[in-house]
Amino acid sequence: MSDITIHELEAAINFWRARSPSSGDELVLCKEASALSKPYALMIVQRQQTLSPDRLDGIAKQAWDSYVRLNTTL
């Protein structure tokens, strides 16, 4: 599987945010966007442009795989 670019990860977060908008007074992100936001933040702090999918935790990996599957069928 090829590396995920920071732009692709941002697009996935925005996809999930559009699909499941933030909720409550605290504007909590949906679990998929939240899971992907952690590696996204690390990429920014570490000034990385790509990330190996193997570095995603279980929830983030599932969110990424679902995004890729849903995005290619639209």
Q: Are 39 and 18 in contact (CB under 8 A)?
A: no
Predicted confidence band of residue 23 (pLDDT cuts 50, 70, 90): confident
DSSP E strands, the chain: 4-5, 50-51
52 burial level (CB within 10 Å; 0-12, 13-18, 19+) = exposed
Looking at residues 47-68, what average pLDDT do you find?
Answer: 97
Predicted confidence band of residue 55 (pLDDT cuts 50, 70, 90): very high
Q: Are 32 and 9 in contact (CB under 8 A)?
A: no
Calculate the CA 6 to chain-centre distance. 10
Over the chain, what is the mean pLDDT?
93
What is residue 26's predicted lDDT score, i.e. its pLDDT? 75
